[in-house]
Amino acid sequence: MTPINRRSALAALGASVATLATGGAAAQSSVTLRLHQFLPPQAPIPAKALVPWAKKVEAESGGRIKVQLFHAMAMGGTPPQLFDQARDGVADMTWTVLGYTPGRFNKAEVFELPFMGGLSEQSSRAFHAYVEQFAADEFRSVKLIAAHTHGPGLFHTKAPVTGLESLRGMKIRGGSRIINNMLGKLGATPVGMPVPAVTEALSKGVIDGTTIPWEVTPSLKITELVKNHTTFAGKEGLFTQTFAFTMNRAAYDKLPADLKQVIDNNSGVETAAMFGRVMDEADKVGRDIAVKAGNHIVALDAAETQRWRRTAAAVESDWVKEMKGKNIDGAQLVSQARALIAKYSK
């Protein structure tokens, strides 16, 4: 081999080695994140929030972040275990209802109080901002991507709820301890359970109705199982539940700086607002399905709604008193929550 050919061969070999090394480094800096949640894949949040979020992150990372979604508890466990699955690394990310772990998120509970929130996008902006300012310590074990709420809560029942008296004695599903306390104050018999259990509970007569927003009614077949829906006057719903989309802290910390930035760019108030928009749009779809099915939608007037507000006010008093016993200024947190809701509702 001539000297020139030898130099060419060595150069080619060097280029090949460099390419392999670069490829190996790229492979090392890529990651697959497992995202676990409790709803079926066709439900609004998985289909129109989590999947688009995952695709956006993949695109912005140049394909170096892959998000593998596991729907309907496919990785095992129960919905109340999801937050800890993210904390402990069983999954890299989870989306769940905070109220499924009662007593865990004391400060965040304020958004579940009766007649607190309205449209989901506005309320979700307010809730994420509230968590960052007043409840960050409750999420310090994870990387918080978004904290959000659903839209106005209402009743879906087998027999119509036309006023406060007609609710009495009904077995009604509640999704958190705050909502269950409210149901008891209103005269119902509260039955606590995660939302995936509602369909079977209604079909077997375990419950007479449920408290959920319109958004999730299609995936649970609610309009087929009950024919009555009761809404309230004013911007606020009877109740709101809170949600958290979180990431395992160690999984986040070991990402290279540029991939951390991709996650950071897709976290925060605007991400919470995106989840809220999905829920608001899905509320319209759920209601339209009930209307087309010929179901009975009861719209309580302002006077009757005010009766419910007065009766449910004791739930807020109970919560403030309970928080005082935990050295938390509940009254101040209620004030801050309402101020943030007003700010983001303008």
- Of 20-34, 193-207, 242-256, 312-326, the range with the lowest mean pLDDT is 20-34
Q: Residues 132, 111: contact at Cβ < 8 Å?
A: no
pLDDT value for 291: 98
The predicted model gives 126-142 an average pLDDT of 98
pLDDT reading at 336 higher than 60: yes
The predicted model gives 36-50 an average pLDDT of 97
pLDDT value for 344: 97
The predicted model gives 81-108 an average pLDDT of 97
The predicted model gives 139-160 an average pLDDT of 98
Tell me the average pLDDT of the chain. 93
Torsion on CA atoms 260, 132, 33, 53, rounded to nearest 10: -90
Q: Cα separation of 273 and 123, whole Å?
A: 8
CB atoms within 10 A of CB 310: 10
Q: Cα separation of 195 and 327, whole Å?
A: 32
Q: Residues 213, 279: contact at Cβ < 8 Å?
A: yes
pLDDT value for 18: 38
The model's pTM: 0.91
pLDDT band at 69; cut points 50, 70, 90 = very high
pLDDT value for 29: 83
For the stretch 308-322, pLDDT in tens is 999 999 999 999 999
CB atoms within 10 A of CB 133: 10
| CA separation, residue 249 to residues 20, 43, 84, 86, 139 (Å) | 31, 27, 12, 8, 10
Q: Which residue in this structure is represented by tokens 């993949």?
A: 58
pLDDT value for 20: 39
The predicted model gives 48-57 an average pLDDT of 98
Q: Cα separation of 283 and 30, whole Å?
A: 37
CB atoms within 10 A of CB 165: 10
For the stretch 256-305, pLDDT in tens is 999 999 999 999 999 999 999 999 999 999 999 999 999 999 999 999 99
* Interstrand relation of 242-248 and 189-192 (parallel, antiparallel or unpaired): unpaired
Domains in the chain: ranges and CATH: 31-150+241-281 (3.40.190.170), 154-239+293-344 (3.40.190.170)
